[in-house]
Structure 1
C-alpha cells in the first residue's frame, strides 16, 4: 500500500507538472501571436513603445532590430513544439528559446522573427514550471496509507485470531485434556474451526476406545496366563516347567509393556512428591538382591514432584536394560537449583551411533547390536521417552569412551509443586 500510494503520488505530481508546463506554453503562444501581429502593424519608431505596452506581469517584451538573436536551447525543444502546436502561425517565425541560467533558473528568454526580418524579444518574468515532485505532498499522501495499513493490520489480526487458536489446538492433539477451539471469526474460518472440533472429538473418541479395548484385552489375557502358570506346577519335568514359566513371564512382560506404552493401565496420573534419591537407591538394591553388580551414587534424599508410577517405570526400564546388556550398572543422581539428572550407565556393547535416534522409536529392537534374547516388543526405551517428556524432561543416550552405554535423564525442578531437599 505504501509503494502504491507513493508511486501514484509521484505520477500525479509528474502529470500535474507537465500539465502546468503545457498551460504555460499555451499562454506564451497566445501572447506571442497577439504581440507579433500588433508590432508588425506598427512602424519601426512605434514598435519599442508598443512592445513596452504589451509587457505584462508574466512576460516582458521589447523590439530591437539590431539586437543579438538568442541561440536555440535543445533543452526547451519540447516547450517550443508545444507553442507551435498551439499556434501553428508561429512556425514561420523561427521561434527560439533559451534558459537564462541553465541549471540555476527556469526563466526563459526567446525571440521570434517578424515578417520584415526584425526580431521581437521576450522574457518570462516567472519561473516556468519544472518537475518538482513536492516530497511534502508525497509524505502527506502516505499518511492515510499508513493509517489504513495499521487499521487493516489490526482487523486482519483479529480475523486470524481463530486460526492461531486452531494452530495451537492442533499442536496439542494427542495430549490431554482436549481443548475445544472457540468457533469465532468469518464464516469460512468458523466452518474450519467447527470441522476441526468435530475431527478432534472423533480422534479423542477413537483413542479412548482403543485404550479401553487394550485394557480389556490385557485384563482378559492375564487371567488365562495366571491359570497357565498354576497348571505348570503339575508338570513333572522341572525343565519343561521352567521353560513354560519363562514363556509365560515373557508374555506377561510383553502385555505390560504394550499397555504401559499405549496408556491402557489407568487414567493419567497426577504429579505427587516422591523421594527420587530413595527410588534410585531402591532400584539398585533390587538388582543387588538378584545377585547383580549395581551401585548407587548420589544424595540420600531428594524430593521432586513427578508422576510417581510413570517415572518409576521409566527408571526401572533403564536399569533393567542396563542389567540385560551389561555386567555392571551404576545409577547416579545429580541435582542443582534447576534440574535433577539421573545417569544409568552399563559396561555393555553400547549402541551404534547411526542407530541412536532409531532405537527410541516404538517396536524397534537392535538385535544384531544388543543380542537376540530380548524380552518384549521393543517398547522399553519409547516408554521412558514418553514418561520423561510428560514431565518436561529429556532422555539422551551416549556411548561411553570406556565402553558401555549411558542413559541420561534430565528432569526439571517444578518449584511451584513443592519443596525439594538433599
Structure 2
C-alpha cells in the first residue's frame, strides 16, 4: 500500500480521525452561524450596531471562559469538556432557531444567547489543543495543524457560509440556524465516540487545598511562563493589537460594505467568505507540506502583518470582485502562519502547561475581540466605512514592524529550530525561553 502524503498521515489513527471529525463539524457549525446571524439581525431590522452587539457578546463570552478553559483542560479529561460544550451549543442554537421560526426572536434575546455560545466556545479550543498531542506522534503535529488549517477556512469561510447563504435565500435565517444546531449535535456524537485518555499531567503530588486556590496556582504558573518566555509574550502582544483593529471590521463590517458599496446580499457575502476560506486552505496545505521556516517567528509576524493590508480594499472599491480577491489574500496570509503557530506551541510548551498556555494565547490574543466587534459598527456609523477599513489595513503594519525590531526574536528562533528533531526523537521543549 503506498504511503500516505505527509499532510494526511495523522488520519491513520482512528482516535484522531474521530477528533478531526468533531473539529470539522464544529467549524462547519461556526461557519453556518457566521452568516446566518448576520441575516437574522438584518431580518429583525438591525444594522451594524446591532450586529456589533451580538458579535461582541459572543466574543466577550469566549474571553470570559478562556482562562478557566485552560485550567480545566489540564485537570479534567478533555473528552468531557468537549461533550459539554457541544451539548450547550446544540441546545442554545436550536432554541434560537425555533424562536426565529415562530417569530418570537428579538435582538436582545439573540445577544443573550450569543453570550452563552461564546462562554461555551471559550472552553473548546484549550481542551481540543491539549488533547491533540496525546493522540498523535510529535513528528505528526505539523501535519495535524496543516489539516486544521485546511478544515477551518474551507468550512468556516467556505462551505458553512455557502450553505447558510443558500438556506437564508431559499427559506429563512431560521433554517440556517437550525442547520447549525443539527451540526453541533453531530459533533457531539463524534466527541462521544472518542476513547478515554488519561491526562498528560501528574496531579498525584499536588499540594491539597481549596479548589479555588488550586485554580489560582495554575493560572499564576501559566501567566509566569508566558511573561518569562519572550517569543510567546511578543507574539501575543502583537496579535492582541492586530485583532483590536482588524477583527471587528472583518467580522462585522464586511457584509455591510458588500451591501452598501456593491448592492450585494447573502450571495456576495458567501462568495467573499468562500474566497477567504480557499486562500486559507491553499496556504495551509503549502505550509504543512514543506519544512518549517528557519526564521519561523519572523515569518509568522511578517505574514500576519501583510494579511491586514488588503483590508483597505473593502473601504475603497464599489464592485464585488476586488473584495473577493482581497478575501482570498487575507485568508491565505492569516492561515499560513497559524499552522506554524500551532506547531510551535505544541513542540515548545511543556505538555503539563499546554492547556493553560493555549488558553492564555486564546485569552490574550482575543482580549480585544469583544471591544473590536462592539466598536466597529458604531464607529463606522460616525466616520464611515472607508476610514475604518483604512485603519484596519495600515496601522497593523506599524505594530508588526515594532514587534520584529523591538522583540529581539531572531536569536531565540535560531536557537530553537522547530525542524531540528527527526521523526521519533524527543520534541524541542524548554521550561523557559527568555
Task: Bin the TM-score by the shorter chain.
Answer: under 0.3
Between Structure 1 and Structure 2, which shows a larger proportion of helix residues?
Answer: 2
Larger radius of gyration: 1
Between Structure 1 and Structure 2, which shows a larger proportion of strand residues?
Answer: 1
What TM-score do the two structures reach when normalised by structure 1? 0.24
What TM-score do the two structures reach when normalised by structure 2? 0.24
